[in-house]
Structure 1
Amino acid sequence: MENNIRGGEAPIACQLEADKNYAWCTCGHSVDQPFCNGTHKKEGGTNPLIFSTEESKEAYLCTCKQTSNPPYCDGSHKN
């Protein structure tokens, strides 16, 4: 199966809670973008990136999977 497909064409604004672990989809197969729903296991995709933040905040998470600053959008979807 193909790996690292685009999960979307634009970032998704997410309200992140301090000290909570999140699983960001790295392969693009999840239908719960930008988060992992386990589809990578069936599709042969890459494991999610587990991350957390020190403070609660709104963040724009990448769905195109081309960012150089995962899981955050860096504008790569525009290229």
Structure 2
Amino acid sequence: MSPAVYREKGYKFFFYSNEEQRMHVHVVGEDGEAKFWLEPEITLAKSYNLSVKELNKLEQSVRDHENEIRAAWQKHFG
């Protein structure tokens, strides 16, 4: 199960239900994917097939939606 937190500009921001406990969010789009840590601060964990420009935009989106992501994490994982 991978609950979506939100979608933006062709990207889906979501969690995998059966994964590590450190707070993070996955992002997948048509051309690639990424994972961002939210703790201890927002940083790129890994990416595949995305440009630096795309990654910068995605990181900014995670920053803009940080409270929403954290709330969804708490709701889903408890």
Give the TM-score of the pair, scaled to structure 2: 0.29
Higher helix share: 2
Give the TM-score of the pair, scaled to structure 1: 0.29
Q: Which has the higher contact order (CA 8 A, sep 6+)?
A: 1
